[in-house]
Amino acid sequence: TEGVKVNAVIAVLAVDGEDVDKAGEGIGEEEPAKPEAAAPAPAPAAAKSEAAAPVAAAPKTEVAADPDIPAGTEMVSTTVREALRDAMAEEMRRDGDVFVMGEEVAEYQGAYKIT
């Protein structure tokens, strides 16, 4: 990735029937400058003499059991990062056609420390 400009097109993927020549149209063109509309200044908040009334908490909803998970299965608390990492690893082990592609993949464990 040395010497590749940020957001530079490095490849074009096409499916059967797609015209690769039209894929690059409009890339690299700058968007026209949008005039900034003058927004009216927000009105100052009125001072309240009384404290706001407390709001009741939303009622807790009962979560239905997942029919795909057998009864008695012990659940484990995990982070989104760990769940993504584990799911990607599981799919890549299961299917040889699954792979991860992108910037900073595997460098210092990836941008989000997932890969």
pLDDT (mean) for 24-32: 61
**Geometric angle at alpha carbon 33, from 32 and 34, rounded to 5°:** 110
Start-to-end CA span in the chain (Å):
17
The answer to whether the beta carbons of residues 77 and 84 sit under 8 Å apart is: no
Weakest mean pLDDT among 71-80, 90-99, 101-110: 101-110
By C-alpha distance, which of 106, 74, 68 is closest to 88? 106
Question: Which two tokens mark 59?
Answer: 């009622």
Task: State how far the Cα of 97 lies from the Cα of 86, in Å rounded to an integer.
Answer: 17
Delimit the domains of the chain by residue range.
Answer: 77-115
Q: pLDDT digits over 54-65, tens only? A: 888 888 777 777
pLDDT (mean) for 17-44: 64
